[in-house]
Homo-oligomer: A and B are copies of this chain.
Amino acid sequence: MTSIQEVALSAGVSAATVSRALAGKPGVSDRVRAKVVQIASDLDYSISKSAASLTTGRTLTIGLITPDVSRWYFGHLVAAIEKKLSEAGYDILLYDIGSGESRGRFFAKMPLRKRVDAVVALLIPNDHEATVLQSLRVPVAILGASRPGFASLGANDVLTAATAVRHLINLGHQKIGMIGAGNTPEDLVSPRERRAGYLLALSEAGIDFDPQLEQNGDYTALGGERAMDLLLAAPTRPTAVFAQSDEMAIGAMKSIRRHGLSIPTDISIIGIDDHELSDAVGLTTLAQPLADHGSEIARAILGQLSEPGVEVPRIELPTRLIVRETTGPAKP
């Protein structure tokens, strides 16, 4: 492992000069700089970030916290964020913290302390978690609702959900079910806000809310399937269902087919996400431009890094209705 000293020795200059030359700092003659660069390359020299961090206080590393990279939603965000930040010269420390107890343990230990220049947290922090993140004393970006001191980004979940439900209403549906999730405050997406959008669209149309038409699908395909089973077993069957995610919608489709019903003739279904397989199964949905979300949040954090203290306004990105084959007019 060649050190800066060896490069300096070999180039016949001091370590300070090598440092300046390699960092592109002024105050080095072109001739010396060229020579140093050449020799560094010959010696296969690469800087020790540990040592550099120790002196500069900067780590050139950004912490990225996610509840579960294996989920479609987070995987896409992580990929987009990683791309943008690595282009800017930062390395990514990934923490896939899960939920519940393991999430608690993560915030208790907070392994990012003194290790990163900034943090992107793909979750909605509760007050305690927000305090812990603040205590890192680096810029932090979060998803979901805006919070003082954090950059934040998200879709307008109320509007998105309302758009989905309005689409069903416009098709003439009145009995509209919803497959959502418990009011888990620690999850990323905001089931509550999407529920609010559902209620909003119903009330706009003068449709009474029927609690029987609401079921929990846990944001998984299996959960969606079970939720649909329950909706179909209820006394008043819905003619259309709004699922808060495509995975749940696709699970629900299985249940519908299993009951011998056809889509959209008997039941319409709409999701949110535009999951990579939604096109293949013909699912009508609201597309979330996750690649844009990711690069925007990355951009926000890079902004904080270059101009600390400047409040970053909340970024809100649009969703787009994609009509495919799972929604159709209500039977007369």
Binding site for B on A (CB under 8 A): 1, 44, 46-51, 53-54, 59, 61, 64, 68-72, 74-76, 78-80, 82-83, 86, 91-96, 98, 110-111, 113-115, 135, 137, 220-222, 224-225, 247, 250-251, 253-254, 275-277, 279-282
B residues within 8 A CB of A224? 280
Q: A1-B137, A247-B276 are in contact. List 9 more A-B contacts (CB 8 A).
A: A50-B54, A54-B54, A70-B78, A70-B79, A92-B95, A94-B94, A221-B277, A222-B280, A254-B280
Contact, CB under 8 Å: B115 / A49: yes
B residues within 8 A CB of A46? 110, 113-114
C-alpha gap A220/B276 in the complex (Å): 9
A290: nearest residue on chain B (CB-CB)? B70
C-alpha gap A296/B3 in the complex (Å): 35
Total copies of the chain: 2
C-alpha gap A76/B74 in the complex (Å): 11
Q: List 8 A-B contacts (CB under 8 A).
A: A46-B113, A50-B53, A70-B76, A70-B78, A74-B75, A75-B75, A82-B94, A251-B280
A82: nearest residue on chain B (CB-CB)? B96
Q: Given contacts A50-B53, A225-B280, A254-B282, is CB(A93)–CB(B96) below 8 Å?
A: no
B residues within 8 A CB of A64? 94
A96: nearest residue on chain B (CB-CB)? B82
Contact, CB under 8 Å: B69 / A78: yes
C-alpha gap A273/B47 in the complex (Å): 41
Contact, CB under 8 Å: A221 / B59: no
The list of the 10 closest CB pairs from A to B, nearest first, reads A70-B79, A75-B75, A94-B94, A50-B53, A46-B113, A82-B96, A221-B280, A50-B50, A70-B76, A70-B75
B residues within 8 A CB of A59? 50
